[in-house]
């Protein structure tokens, strides 16, 4: 969890020394715990959103409903998407389960470009894959429309 943050900070310093205008958004540096099942998160938690008075909606999808997770017998865990109640912008993504250390990168990209849960829900994800669980959670956040529950 610390190596990728330190790398970003190193690049920041090098760019600043070179006279460039570097950028780091600490909200978008993923946290990853390399256990089994893996744990990964980026952005705000529900507790942080509540403290800030931000209204949000939640979508989640359990790995037990994922075809790929069932095929590999790695069904523990879920993906949760937190999106702004009004704008639908993704504010946080939290995952526990198989391959989440890899899957969190899609959430970081989405949040870097201010994607909505609807944006993720409309992107084609290969089937069966673990990453389609993020799409399913986004579908759940946008009108409880998950396809595979």
List, by residue number, the catalytic residues. 127
Q: Which residue has the tokens 């998407």?
A: 81
Q: Which residues pair with 59 in a beta bridge?
A: 81
Cβ-contact 89, 61 below 8 angstroms: no
Where does the chain have alpha helices with state H? 3-17, 46-52, 67-72, 100-112, 117-122, 132-141
CA distances from 89 to 110, 115, 136 (A): 9, 6, 16
């Amino acid at each position: 969890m610390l190596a990728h943050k330190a790398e970003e900070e190193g690049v920041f310093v090098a760019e600043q020394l070179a006279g460039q205008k570097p950028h780091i958004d600490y909200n978008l540096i993923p946290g990853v715990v390399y256990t089994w099942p893996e744990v990964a998160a980026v952005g705000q938690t529900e507790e942080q959103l509540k403290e800030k008075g931000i209204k949000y909606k939640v979508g989640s999808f359990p790995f037990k409903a994922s075809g790929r997770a069932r095929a590999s017998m790695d069904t523990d865990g879920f993906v949760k998407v937190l999106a702004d109640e009004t704008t639908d912008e993704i504010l946080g993504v939290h995952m526990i389960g198989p391959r989440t250390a890899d899957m969190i990168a899609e959430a970081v990209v989405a949040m870097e470009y201010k994607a909505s849960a609807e944006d993720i829900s409309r992107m084609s994800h290969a089937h069966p894959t673990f990453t389609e669980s993020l799409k399913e959670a986004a579908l759940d956040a946008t009108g409880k429309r998950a396809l595979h529950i």
